[in-house]
Chain A
Amino acid sequence: MRAVKSKSYRRGRIADIQKVGGENWLEILSEVSRIAALTLELDTRLNLIVELIAKQTGADACSILLMDEERENLILKATKGLNSMAINKVILKVGEGITGLTAKEMKVITSRNALNDPRSVYFPETGEERFKSVLSVPIVDVDRCIGVIYTQTINEKDYTENDIKFLTTIANNITWMIKNAQLYEKARQKISELSILYEISMAMQTTINLDRLLRIILSCITVGDVFGFNMAALFLVNEKTNTLQGMMGLGPDTGEEAREIWSKLPEITNLFQWLTSQDDVLVRKESNFNKFIKSIRIPLTHDGGVLALTVLEKKPFNIKDARNDPMVNKELLEKSGVNSFATVPIIAKNQVLGVIVVNNIYTNKPIEDEDLQSLVRFTVHAGWAIENARLFSQLKEANKEILIAEQQLIQSERLSALGQLAAELAHEIKNPLVTIGGFARRLSEKTGFTHDEKKYIDIIISEVERVEKILKDILNYSRVIKPTFSDYNINTLIEEVLSSYEGIFSESGIVVKRELSDNIHPLHIDTSQIKQVLINILYNASECMTGKGGAITIKTELLNREDDGVTISISDTGGGIPPEILDNIFNPFFTTKNHGTGLGLSLSKKIIENHGGTIGIDNRIGEGATFIINLPAKQDSRIQGVKGSEY
């Protein structure tokens, strides 16, 4: 049934055409169909049609205007006879001029002398002043006008019913061609966008490094083939501070720089390859724009401006006149100098991760809502990539912490094991040492030895004493040493120490300088322990200057307030402590010397801490090191109450 109906329908149409124009018209219609089969490109189709109609009807000009998406304006899309430069430039409102009126009323309008027709509107760029008569026919799709086709003649012409019927028939026949081509165009754009999004997604998946990922995202937004915004900036939400934090800004600092960069940009044939290979073509970490963006912190409150609102309301904003927009933060506006921009939230798992801000400051191209929609679609992918990178970064951070904790554990276990080993060793050595020293003492009490023999025995006794002292230190180290406090002037204690050691230092070419403050009041300290600390540090200082001489400066001064205590600094000119060993210097059993237990500084630290004080190093590589000891004036009752074992 349907086939029969269709056949009779076609027969009727052909009969109509034959009635108005004879066989020539059939040829024209068949030509129109041929054009449709020839190409899917809208512009090409329209150009071929206007050319065909102008030729076949003898009109001096034939043009087609199409309605825009908002159905507010007609745009000149193709012409034969008018200035082709006017294509896409001539835009007239529905209802404006003869063609506008045709679209509005959806009826054919003819004018014998359009030049004198009050309905006419002329566009000088088309050069249409020379045409007198016009026949304007609406292109109708069911019940709405999608465009206008019109012919013009230089000489005045009275249009016949046949002329009108012919153009109307053509208009009816090209409706589907236009619609087809428009759908094709849209599909092609979508496919192109999808393909770009695919390539961008692939590029974003190549990295989990947040910095690099942000660079890829901003490159996508600013590169001409994709979105082509002049500048783009990315902000991320800092949940701890509830602020929006500027992470990266991409774009030239000046128009001149913009032209230079864009002229140097190679034509991008493979977006994926370009995105994943380029690092610094567009991104200059030091650019003023990047620095400016990174300095921005915006509170996430409703008065935080449009960027904060983008996060809070989870929607994009297209700001066309920032100066007069109450949502825009005026301070940021002044600094950026941008009057129109758009913001898009970056969302993943229904949470806003950040905001992308774009502008066209150099080209002044308005940001269309369609551009913004594409950007929104893009940020969905960007959001997931950023979320992944953030999760990865958190994981990495957690792993790092575990690693550090593990290393600390290994270190403390190592020290503990070493400590036990040292204690065991100390006990094992002790018995033979007691006998060596004991018999040496017995020998020294006997008579009849030569002077040299007596000297050797004394050396054995003093060396055994020294080793016994080291063993005592080792065994003491594992215990809290209970200090016995008394009030003592630290300057006096320093002088006592120096009186024993200054002579030895001077033999090694080391000068001791004193900068002792007169305002020092007595400190509550264990004098023998603090003396031990001073000796340890002075001994260390002198050792690093052995053979080359130098100076040791020992200085005392009051801490900030009188009741805060005293700072003692001991500086040397031994070239400083190598950075690689600085962290270990207070660790027990750490030593760079061939002799010694590595307990001197470690024990000193313990003593100072038991006094409620602190010890630190000001290390100046190539110059020297200063040990800084801060001792409080009075002791904390807790420290005095520490129960220790006496040796």
Chain B
Amino acid sequence: MDKKKILVVDDEENIRILYSEELRDEGYDVIVASNAEEADIKIKESSPDLITLDIKMPGMDGIDFLRKVREHDKNIPIVMCSAYSDYKQDFRTWASEAYVVKSSDMVELKSIIREILKKGRSR
């Protein structure tokens, strides 16, 4: 069975490393992008099965990028990952599959990703 591919989009390098390692340990292929522009290229190049998307980023932020992705792809699962919990109430984030507040304990994020990928592309 092919490994599922996850694109981690975050401007913080250490977060990218942590997420990559944790998700690889979970058995996923992980590719990373440090901003929206780079993420756009990676999506086109690699067609990931799921994207974890930070919100506060230099240049285009996560919310605008989410809208941009949804213009072309209604189905790709996107998990918003932010230090802010407030955007959970922001309707613009509702187009994502899930919203996770960043924590050093990644149990919640991993469990959500597992759940989403198990269901498959439902959109």
A residues at B contact (CB < 8 Å): 427, 430-442, 461, 464-465, 468, 475, 645, 647
- Show 18 residue pairs from A and B whose CB-CB distance is below 8 angstroms, ordered by the A residue: A427-B56, A427-B84, A430-B102, A431-B12, A431-B15, A431-B83, A431-B102, A432-B14, A435-B12, A435-B104, A436-B104, A437-B103, A437-B104, A437-B105, A441-B105, A442-B21, A468-B103, A475-B85
Q: How far is the CB of A439 from chain B (nearest CB, A)?
A: 6
B1-56 at interface with A (beta carbon < 8 Å)? 12, 14-15, 17-18, 21-22, 56
Shortest CB-to-CB span from B61 to chain A, Å, is: 14
- Can you add 6 more A-B contacts, CB < 8 Å, to A434-B18, A437-B103, A439-B18? A434-B102, A435-B12, A435-B104, A437-B104, A438-B18, A475-B85
Tell me if B85 and A468 are in contact (CB < 8 A).
Answer: no
As a 0/1 sequence over residues 88 to 122 of chain B, the CB contacts with chain A under 8 angstroms (1 = contact) are 11000000000001111110000000000000000
Let me know if A440 and B104 touch, CB within 8 A. Answer: yes
- Cβ A441 vs Cβ B104 within 8 A: yes
Interface residues of B in 70-87 (CB under 8 A from A): 83-85
Q: How far is the CA of A456 from the CA of B115 in the complex (A)?
A: 34
Number of interface residues of B (CB under 8 A): 19
> Shortest beta-carbon distance, A480 to chain B, in Å?
14
Q: Which residue of A432, A433, A435, A647 is within 8 Å of B101 (Cβ)?
A: A647
B104 lies within 8 A of A468 (CB): yes
B18 touches A442 (CB 8 A): yes
List chain B positions with a Cβ less than 8 A from chain A. 12, 14-15, 17-18, 21-22, 56, 83-85, 88-89, 101-106
**Would you give the shortest CB distance from B20 to chain A, in whole angstroms?**
11
Chain A interface SS verdict (over half)? helix
Q: Tell which of A434, A440, A441, A461 has the most Cβ of chain B within 10 Å.
A: A434
Candidate in B17, B88, B89, B102 with the most chain A CB atoms within 10 angstroms: B102
On chain A, the residues within 8 Å of B103 by CB distance are: 434, 437, 468
Chain B residues positioned under 8 Å from A440 (CB to CB): 104
Q: Give bound CA distance, A522 to B89, whole Å.
A: 35
| Residues on the B chain within 8 Å of A431, using CB | 12, 14-15, 83, 102
Q: Is the CB of A435 within 8 A of B14?
A: yes
The minimal Cβ–Cβ distance linking B32 to chain A, given in whole angstroms, is 14
Among B22, B56, B83, B85, the residue within 8 A (CB) of A647 is B85
Closest to A430 in B: B83
Contact of B83 among A434, A437, A441 (CB under 8 A): A434
Interface hub of B21, B85, B89 (most chain A Cβ within 10 A): B85
What is the CA–CA distance of A435 and B85 in the complex, to the nearest angstrom?
A: 18
Chain A residue contacts of B17, Cβ below 8 A: 435
CB distance from A429 to the nearest CB of B (A): 9
Known: A430-B102, A431-B102, A433-B104. A438 touches B83 (CB 8 A): no
Q: How far is the CA of A431 from the CA of B83 in the complex (A)?
A: 7
